[in-house]
Structure 1
Amino acid sequence: MFKKSLISLFLITSSMYAFADGEKAGDFDSYKLAITWAPGFCKENQSKQECQALNKELKSDYNYAVTLHGLWPNVNGTTTYGNCTSTKFNDYQASAFNNILMNYSLPAAKYCDNTGFCLPEHEWNKHGTCQLKWDQPEYFYVQSKMLNLFRDTLVAPLENKDSVTKSELYSIILKQFPTKNIDDFDLICNPDTGMLKEIRVSLDKNIEDISNDKWRSLSKTDLSKHIIPTDNLSNYCGENIVLR
């Protein structure tokens, strides 16, 4: 009896530690692509070094308005899955990707040595190691290819605007993704100021099946096939959306 009690206690304790360590890698059903609207993000984070640099970069290249936050494996449309166990990948390696590519897609990568927080390291260790398809360079590469499609969609129509209606913003997006609906694009705003901070897009897990050749020439039509409706839209954006 005592022996059985010890075994039961061991199993319970082991399961508690397994849960505390994180989710099991590969145990998810979809992805979420999080795209940062840098003018809005930096309005709230002016002390961040990447924001101080971005404010200068935006004057000469407005593509920097649209940058990466991350690509997150998801369960049932939530954003809580992460910090996985049983992963086949190593922790983040700063030298494992093309720095020029990263600096243009995820400018915060340039400031990892100067602050206590490194966004690409955080994204890879929390989210990237939860999927079992792409190694670290590939994981950030496919994000950059998707990011380019949204830069192409958003930069030109919004570059000279201080604000836009929600209907107009959805119209701009759906013009480039005509087979999709407004529920496929989750707009994240500061609820107090109405400032746009992020756009999130849910993707089916089959994006893992896109070939290397297709990633090189990825089109909006290609990506549209994998965009799925977003459950639990944030609804933080009012009808008038502030851009900068």
Structure 2
Amino acid sequence: MRRWVLALLFLAGLSPAARADVTDHYALLMVWMPGLCKFEPDRAECKELTLRRYDGLNLAFMALQSARPSNASNTFCYTMLDDESMDRSRKWCDMYQPKIPDTLTLQLKTLMPVMQSCQDRGLWARYASCTMYSAADYYSRAIKLARSVAATQLNSKIAAAVGATAKQSELLEAFKADFGDEKVNAVDFICRKLGNTSHLLQVRISVTARALTRGLNKEMLWKPVNPLRRGCPENFVVDAPPVPIAGAEAPPAKPAPPPGQPPAPDSVPVGPVETAPLEPQGPVVR
């Protein structure tokens, strides 16, 4: 029924939401899940997020956004009347879920952890609907790009800073090492503030339309014409996963202070952390 409705809207030249304008490039939106869980700890995908899980130590996939020459995103193209309101109210599990092969679903369970809260359905309506790809084509291209990001020096540099403060300039140098100085404005970092501290939330990489079929390399990156206003300050926190690794030693109990003296200040012993990005599980889409 849904397909017939969308077909009739298309033939009539009408749309219940925005119509897709000319696509100049795409934005590959990757999320730093520990940062997202810092602000939204009740999400299903945050309950068991540790350093041993793929998205606890790697950038994870969120969306491919179809963008216009002005760099504005196309959103909610040829979708149902209530999709936008349902997405904004986070009623994701009540939204339409496109059908894709089981092989893709298996990989997305690792690479797209927001599926656990059904947010993939909201992101499909908001962004994927504007790419005009079928669900299978959209996700197979997204998986290929997400795997390429996992192999970058930028991903490794972010993983090495987990639980500490990162410098944006050093992350940009890591991006340059893979893609060259002239394409540095193809990447941006999105932060959210808690008090006076900024926390890494997302990484956005602009790619040409050809990148969706040819993969991620310096020739496939899209560079904005206008100067880029970056979404993070020079210094920001790369949060660690919210759940400690099972079996880790608990800190020793503090001895009681002598009578009449204040207690000793708290100290938290920090053990060695594996910072090499983990490899996603499941078959590779080529």
When the two structures are superposed, what TM-score results if normalisation uses the length of structure 2?
Answer: 0.63
1:65 to 38, 47, 58: 58
Structure 2: state its 5+ residue gaps. Answer: 1-12, 80-95, 240-286
Q: Secondary structure at the match of 1:85?
A: coil
1:84 to 48, 65, 77: 77
Q: Deviations 1:170-197 (Å, cap 9, x if unpaired)?
A: 1111111125433111111124422111
Residues 229, 94 of structure 1: alpha-carbon distance in 2 compared, 3 angstrom cutoff: same
Counterpart check, 1:156 vs 2:163 = no
Q: Which amino acid aligns with 1:185?
A: V
When the two structures are superposed, what TM-score results if normalisation uses the length of structure 1?
Answer: 0.72
Q: Which amino acid aligns with 2:69?
A: N
Q: Deviations 1:37-66 (Å, cap 9, x if unpaired)?
A: 12212211111110222x22x235466531
Q: Distance in 2 between matches of 1:69 and 1:232?
A: 25
Match of 1:14 in 2: none
1:194, 1:241 within 8 Å by CA — same for their partners in 2? yes
Residues 104, 62 of structure 1: alpha-carbon distance in 2 compared, 3 angstrom cutoff: closer
Counterpart check, 1:167 vs 2:169 = yes
Percentage identity across paired residues of the two chains: 19
Q: Which amino acid aligns with 2:98?
A: Q
- Structure 2 matches for 1:68-217, cutoff 5 A? 68-85=61-78, 92-94=97-99, 96-97=101-102, 98-109=104-115, 111-112=116-117, 118-132=118-132, 134-153=133-152, 154-161=154-161, 162-178=164-180, 180-191=182-193, 192-208=196-212, 210=213, 214=214
1:36, 1:197 within 8 Å by CA — same for their partners in 2? yes
2:191, 2:231 within 8 Å by CA — same for their partners in 1? yes
Residues 159, 131 of structure 1: alpha-carbon distance in 2 compared, 3 angstrom cutoff: closer
2:197, 2:237 within 8 Å by CA — same for their partners in 1? yes
Match of 1:11 in 2: none
Q: Distance in 2 between matches of 1:71 and 1:202?
A: 10
1:30, 1:77 within 8 Å by CA — same for their partners in 2? no
Q: Distance in 2 between matches of 1:207 and 1:19?
A: 30
Deviation at 1:167, TM superposition (A): 0.9
2:25, 2:222 within 8 Å by CA — same for their partners in 1? no
CA RMSD in angstroms comes to 2.9
Match of 1:29 in 2: 24
Residues 207, 150 of structure 1: alpha-carbon distance in 2 compared, 3 angstrom cutoff: closer
Match of 1:238 in 2: 233
Structure 1: state its 5+ residue gaps. Answer: 1-17, 113-117
1:92, 1:125 within 8 Å by CA — same for their partners in 2? no
Match of 1:12 in 2: none
Counterpart check, 1:50 vs 2:41 = no
Residues 232, 189 of structure 1: alpha-carbon distance in 2 compared, 3 angstrom cutoff: farther
Q: Secondary structure at the match of 2:120?
A: helix
Question: Radius of gyration: which is bigger?
Answer: 2
Q: Secondary structure at the match of 1:22?
A: coil
Structure with more helix by fraction? 1
Deviation at 1:85, TM superposition (A): 2.4
Match of 1:40 in 2: 35
Q: Distance in 2 between matches of 1:48 and 1:233?
A: 32
Residues 35, 20 of structure 1: alpha-carbon distance in 2 compared, 3 angstrom cutoff: same
